[in-house]
């Protein structure tokens, strides 16, 4: 039928399911960040670079590396499997299936991409506000509950009822 949505029969994921999925991933992301931070702190201290940026350099690099890793993982997992491990645990997924990799990359760069900036003073405030704003837009977008990253990619997060 012309004009029907590709997810007309899909049940949208609740906001708390999406939040729980991201929190599960944030826990793993945090562990990776702290491992990177400790390793970089040791390296920078050994080579005498701890005074650069008032000792913030290991944190900046750790956030950037972990943020790039998380953004890359988010893109790859949605492209290959239609969901991340957090979404799999919460039994939700991305619709429609078969979204082009380029569209999913744009989606990942909008959210969670700004995490890369979280280690940079002042930029972290802007990134945090952007990420908070994405979450708020999901809450107020009724009935589809899509954030700007979903709209950009033409996707929606739905319950995985299989």
Q: b/e map of 17-32 (b: 16 or more CB within 10 Å)?
A: bbbbbbebbeeebeee
Range of the structural domain that residue 155 is part of:
15-159
Helix (H, G, I), strand (E, B) or coil at 98: coil
2 is a domain residue: no
Query: Is residue 8 in a domain?
Result: no
Domain-embedded: residue 1: no
Q: Dig out the tokens for 61 from the structure.
A: 């690099």
The verdict on residue 7 lying in a domain is no
Q: Are strands 92-95 and 156-159 parallel, antiparallel or unpaired?
A: antiparallel
Residue 95 and residue 156 in contact, taking contact as beta carbons nearer than 8 Å: yes
Express each pLDDT in 94-136 by its tens digit: 999 999 999 999 999 999 999 889 888 889 999 999 999 999 9
Answer yes or no: is 128 within a domain. yes
Q: Give the tens place of pLDDT for each residue, 58-92.
A: 888 888 888 899 999 999 999 999 999 999 999 99
Q: pTM for this one?
A: 0.86
Number of domains into which the chain is organized: 1
Establish if 98 belongs to a structural domain: yes
Q: Nearest Cα to 85, choosing from 97, 77, 76?
A: 77
Residue 6: predicted pLDDT: 60
Q: Tell me if 129 is assigned to some domain.
A: yes
């Amino acid at each position: 039928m012309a004009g029907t949505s590709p997810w007309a029969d899909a049940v949208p994921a609740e906001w708390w399911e999406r939040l729980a999925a991201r929190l599960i991933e944030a826990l793993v992301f945090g562990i990776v960040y702290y491992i990177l931070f400790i390793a970089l702190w040791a390296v920078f201290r050994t080579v005498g670079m701890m005074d650069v940026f008032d000792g913030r350099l290991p944190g900046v690099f750790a956030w950037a590396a972990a943020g790039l890793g998380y953004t890359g993982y988010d893109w790859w997992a949605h492209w290959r499997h239609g969901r991340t491990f957090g979404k799999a645990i919460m039994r939700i997924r991305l619709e429609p299936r078969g979204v082009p990799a380029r569209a999913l990359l744009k989606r990942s760069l909008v959210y969670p991409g700004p995490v890369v900036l979280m280690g940079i003073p002042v930029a972290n405030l802007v990134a945090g506000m952007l990420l908070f704003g994405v979450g708020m837009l999901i809450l107020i977008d009724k009935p589809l509950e899509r954030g700007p990253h979903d709209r950009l990619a033409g996707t929606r997060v739905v319950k995985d009822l299989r």
